[in-house]
Amino acid sequence: MQDRLLELFHKYVNDNCSTEELSELYELFSLTGNEIIVKELIAQTIEDIHQHPEQINTFLSQEDAEKILNDIFPQTSDTAIVPHVPVKISRMRWWKWAAAATVAVLISLSGYYVLHQSGNKATREIAGRKSSTSNSSNKATLILSNGQTILLDSVPNGLLATQGQGRVVKNQNGAVIYSAAGKDGDQIVYNTITTPRGGQYFLQLSDGSKVWLNAASSIRFPVVFPAGERKVYITGEAYFEVEHLSGHHDQPAAFIVEATSNATDNRGCRIEVLGTKFNINSYSNEPVVSTTLLEGKVKVHVNNSLQSQVLQPNQQVNISRKGDMYLTTSADVNAVIAWKNGYTQFAAVPLSAVMRQVERWYDVNVQFEGNVADIKFTGKLKRTESLAEFLKILDLNNIKYEINNSTIIIK
């Protein structure tokens, strides 16, 4: 029996467990007499997590971790049974051990315990809606200059259109690539790409600059940039890798991004770029418009204001609803661009901020009742996880909710 437990556990660690094997593994976890070997397996996993913390893939409040672990291994005395673990791990505080163990066993095991043991009927019901509420990245609509729309996630690869002096091609990876087919014309021809909730898209502009659009975002841009000017317009969130080009007299050709939030307060900014990598978040339901620089140098101007700020790498500037600028000199850039790499990542962020991203990723609406919106979360979640998997995390943290059609009501 222990050999089977070891076999299944190692299959799980290597992401090779089938649904049936996962169920069998959890049954073995719960059998009397397996507690010691299970805890030793967990301890080894903890050591791996300790050495490679970037592999942790969950949201979990620290105060709930020990409670959950004790729920898995109920104690018959007032003293918790601390497993035999390597010296490095035994020196960890108990709550760290519990949190790591919960990460290793509960969350990564697809929330099996919660799905089968929780009395939350809404979680079980929404699990059956995985296909309609799971993330499926490459979704976008291309709007040509004549108003024609093309659904980019369903149109075949190849030449999509010839617009003015430019060509629009969808390559074998599903990306849209723009290129100049001739000399610059007198008229600037614009295209627009929009992403729905739950979608994102990658495109390459005619100058070679690369753009990643997050969910519920848009970019308007010239099919071919005119000589001496590169300007695009975005809403929502986008990550840019701008191609360095020389203009007149071999001076660097500026790249300008106009970002608006589409909010009634007319928040927004203009970013002047040379050759650089940066992220802009201008969603209308976010409290600030945020620009974060990874490489190079940018200058951010507040709309309808004389305020501006030059950013250096790893810096971030936020523009409030009132138009005030706030500089962060050491931003968590990995968390900022996690969405581009297929994750959502937070560090001590209120639940309200987490759920705003959930709304955009899973195409749902979220309402709050009470003060739960201020609960802080730290963690990382794959974008490919279904909404049902995310809701299990709320269960683990004792957060009550109801599902009403496509609205999640947090209580």
Helices 351-362/387-396 angle, 10° precision: 160
Residue with structure tokens 């939350």?
Answer: 120
Joined together, the tokens standing for residue 318 give: 């936020």
The CATH architecture to which 141-336 belongs is Sandwich (2.60)
Q: Write the Ramachandran bin of 116: left for phi over 0, alpha for psi from -120 to 50, otherwise beta.
A: alpha
Helices 35-51/2-13 angle, 10° precision: 20
Q: CB of 14 within 8 A of CB of 48?
A: no
Q: Which residues contact 308 (CB under 8 A, 6 or more apart)?
A: 299, 300, 301, 302
Q: How far apart are CA 292 and CA 237, in angstroms?
A: 11
Q: Mind giving me the DSSP string for 117-174?
A: H---HHHHHHHTTHHHHS---B--EEE-TTS-EEETTTSPSEEEEEETTEEEEE-TTS
Q: Of all helices (H) and strands (E), which one includes residue 328?
A: strand 325-328
Confidence (pLDDT) at 345:
80
Phi, psi of 54 (to 5 degrees): -70, -15
Q: How far apart are CA 180 and CA 210, in angstroms?
A: 15
Joined together, the tokens standing for residue 134 give: 């799971």
Beta-sheet pairing, 289-295 with 210-213? unpaired
- List per-residue pLDDT tens for the chain, 411 residues long: 677 887 887 776 665 777 677 778 767 776 767 767 776 776 666 555 545 444 444 454 444 444 544 544 444 433 333 333 333 333 334 334 443 443 344 333 333 333 333 344 444 444 444 433 444 478 999 999 999 999 999 999 999 999 888 999 999 999 999 998 766 556 899 999 999 998 999 999 999 999 999 999 999 999 999 887 899 999 999 999 999 887 655 567 889 999 987 655 556 899 999 779 999 999 999 999 999 999 999 999 998 888 999 999 999 999 998 889 999 999 999 889 999 988 888 777 888 998 999 999 899 999 998 777 778 877 777 888 888 888 877 887 778 899 988 899 998
Q: Which of 409, 407, 411, 410 is nearest to 365 (CA)?
A: 407
Confidence (pLDDT) at 133:
44
Sequence spans of domains, the chain: 2-109, 141-336
Confidence (pLDDT) at 88:
36
Q: Which residues contact 89 (CB under 8 A, 6 or more apart)?
A: 43, 46, 47, 50, 97
Q: CB of 330 within 8 A of CB of 314?
A: yes
Q: What letter represents residue 164's amino acid?
A: G
CA distances from 410 to 63, 354, 366 (A): 19, 12, 7
CA distances from 222 to 14, 71, 181, 189 (A): 46, 58, 14, 5
Q: What is residue 363's DSSP assignment?
A: T
